[in-house]
Chain A
């Protein structure tokens, strides 16, 4: 190591990471993420600054997050863990943690406290949904529509516009899985928000949800990658649909498409890191060093400069500033912004862990008919 690097990294380590000094650290890491704009925001906010501090650390990105559980299982079977840090949604993190494929972590030990000294576990609060999970951002699955459709009566202002083919005719686009769609269907069929999962647990409730979806089935394109809906709306192939709020943001603000957001009944979900179980000492030390840096208050706030997802730390929220290129204020585009979060749905991980296989079979059978 060059002297300068040593000084720089020691300086940085002394400043922020007393836990990680004097350990042998690997000088390469494989990080797994989702590709696209989201991965770019991680590169800009965490990886590049980290590499600026540690120029001899090499970072490889693997865009395998959608198949992370399957691939980690395969790596575990082979006893050959190729990944150092994996970005997954909360449900996958719980599954990986349950199966012993992710390492359990002590959040207060491996994560930086907030600038005011609040321990990490309080700063992240309820978002630590699993002992293995290090949340980064809150995102939501929500609706958006083309705002230049001529034969519409009024503008959509609730999620139930999805089912209102009279006032808002045209092709819809929804995700090709039961999660979220069934909840919205029941909600729009008059079920109170807090009863949704109780109703959905019964045979009649499921039938009711599918019956509601039946009303729009033949006007819906079912997507499997979240990048599809903005494209479909931009191309005019669809007029109303669901996707992640960050994807909509980039279509609306960055690509200037005639699309508007509809935050009503947005479904919150989390995205964050897990460390695969069974890493060798030196790689683990490097990953811990990186995670300590990449999830501190400033870094999480920085990420919001590139993508409209809310930082998972409470202490980051006030630091969220403007978009790196467009210069617009990012606060109002966060799913967590009070204005946007007036009516939200909490996604029930536990419930879906049980009913996923069952409802998925039903959903696919329903789609196929």
Chain B
């Protein structure tokens, strides 16, 4: 970063640096709360704050015991397992149906496109508590409340808007003459889809999938209502923990989740760049 222009007056300089300091403070506000839980999760005591030992960087003040608890406590392990069982299934469902629909929606002549789009996007717009309440009542009626299938269906519905949005976004830049060229060269529609279309929209599909995954993996409200004890996921366990038996294990879990989200974020970022590069290369 270069400094202010050399011709800047003193007030301009003050403003220039002042503004940067201000932005720094805001970034601090944005990031610090997430980072602060990382050292706290190594606390040797059952406290949520820095102990004097920790501030002195005394190794005595640090321990892995909260991580040990997470990896040995059957409740947390069950919750982790449930999350791992639910999120991929919901993602798969959302991505398959969502990609097909996004391709359909990007065709030139779709009747009632606006209305269909509104319906497909609605799970993202409707407040979660309302979705949760509606699903709770309705899934109870049809016997899906408290079942694995029920939770997967509900989470898939919540993830669909993200798949639709990301895949449609990649398709907007998609050059239709490519499919026509492929067809004119004798490829059938299926081949065209997998050989031409798919590689180009793949980044969109994957990042849509990641969004759907994180939506399900992070979701608490709907699963609390639609699920039962057998579907208690990691965020649900955290929610109960925060509301009831507050234990620092939550901070250990939180740290692990932050690590996961950094990984996911990097994947999405790489995919986005790749997609831009690919599209930049495609003619038109």
Contacts and interface: CB of A to CB of B under 8 A. Distances in A.
Contacts of A225: 243-244
Given A75-B145, A75-B146, A228-B244, A82 B228 contact: yes
A64 interface: yes
Contact of A227 (B137, B145, B146, B245): B245
Contacts of B6: none
Contacts of B229: 60-64
B228 A62 contact: yes
A233 to B, nearest CB: 13
Interface in A10-65: 35-36, 60-64
A78 B141 contact: yes
A60 B74 CA distance: 13
Interface in B237-265: 240, 243-246
Return the 3 tightest CB-CB contacts between A and B, nearest first.
A74-B140, A62-B229, A225-B244
A343 interface: no
B244 A77 contact: no
B136 interface: yes
Contacts of B140: 74-75, 77-78
Nearest to A226: B244
B108 interface: no
A147 interface: no
B280 interface: no
Contacts of A235: 48
Contacts of B33: none
Size bin of chain A's contact surface: 20 to 34
B3 interface: no
Contacts of B244: 35-36, 225-228
B81 to A, nearest CB: 14
Given A74-B140, A74-B145, A79-B143, A231 B230 contact: no
Size bin of chain B's contact surface: 10 to 19
Contacts of B243: 224-225, 228
Interface in B204-247: 228-230, 232, 240, 243-246
Interface string A214-228: 000000000011111
Nearest to B247: A231
B236 to A, nearest CB: 10
A80 B143 contact: yes
B43 to A, nearest CB: 14
7 contacts: A60-B230, A64-B229, A74-B137, A75-B140, A78-B141, A82-B146, A225-B243
Contact of B141 (A61, A77, A82): A77
Contacts of B146: 71, 75, 82
A36 B247 CA distance: 12
B185 interface: no
B110 interface: no
Contact of A78 (B48, B145, B228, B240): B145
Contacts of B228: 62, 64, 71, 82
Nearest to B232: A63
B142 interface: yes
A223 to B, nearest CB: 9
A251 to B, nearest CB: 11
Given A36-B244, A71-B146, A62 B141 contact: no
Nearest to B145: A74
B139 to A, nearest CB: 8
Interface string A86-122: 0000000000000000000000000000000000000
B151 to A, nearest CB: 14
Contacts of A74: 136-137, 140, 145
A82 B136 CA distance: 15
Interface in A208-263: 224-228, 231, 235
B141 to A, nearest CB: 6
Nearest to A234: B46
A74 B143 CA distance: 9
A226 B243 CA distance: 10
Contacts of B136: 74
Nearest to A34: B244
Contacts of A64: 228-229
